[in-house]
Amino acid sequence: GENVEQHPSTLSVQEGDSAVIKCTYSDSASNYFPWYKQELGKRPQLIIDIRSNVGEKKDQRIAVTLNKTAKHFSLHITETQPEDSAVYFCAASIGAGTASKLTFGTGTRLQVTL
Amino acid sequence: EPEVTQTPSHQVTQMGQEVILRCVPISNHLYFYWYRQILGQKVEFLVSFYNNEISEKSEIFDDQFSVERPDGSNFTLKIRSTKLEDSAMYFCASSEGLAGGPSTRDTQYFGPGTRLTVL
């Protein structure tokens, strides 16, 4: 089955700096890659996703890149703010508009310091 | 904006007891999921559900677990005889599936979770 690795497990950046979180996946059939942000005690919230027919997607300060050949994808947050502090999870699935399970990475705790 | 809701927010039970966790998915969504997250760990898939039957289940989802859509709005997870290791946050999620547009059909929206504590 699919296995998703995520690095680093913790990341501390100063406000205004950029943060990069990297994930690799094992199943070449995976084609949908969402990123979720989870604040303490709250639900995972989708912040951005990318499909395998696209190499990069951007939404304001957040961007995701995908390298299908290498089977890795990354989350980039620019101009970080204290409210970006949370745990970020990458995930992969064989998206086809059907009931495709998400396989999650182990999470990255991002701390944005003043 | 429509959201997935879950009740209760926190459930405390004794080992061996049955629990039912309830979810109301987003109304036009066709696919439903349960995930769990043990404290400090990653989110793990339990089961997916479509058209009143299980689509896929993980190794975690053994005979002690069952899911049901008893009416047009609720989606439940039952654990028949709880064990200490069932203590976790349980998240329900839903997605539009094929009824949605290309950019939304695979997106899974998560509920706020039910924290299950087994004593």
Nearest CA among B92, B93, B115, B108 for reference residue B38 = B115
Partner residue facing A101 (CB), from B48, B98, B113: B48
Express each pLDDT in A60-72 by its tens digit.
Answer: 999 999 999 999 9
Flag whether pLDDT at A15 surpasses 90.
Answer: yes
Does the structure show a pLDDT above 80 at B26? yes
Q: Percent of chain B having pLDDT more than 70?
A: 98
- Per-residue pLDDT tens over the stretch A45-103: 999 999 988 899 999 999 999 999 999 999 999 999 999 999 999 999 998 777 789 99
Nearest CA distance, B98 vs chain A (angstrom): 5
pLDDT band for position B1 (cuts 50, 70, 90):
confident
Instruction: Report CA-CA distances (Å) from A9 to A3, A18, A38.
Output: 16, 16, 14
DSSP state of B84: G
Nearest residue of chain B to residue A105 (CA atoms): B42
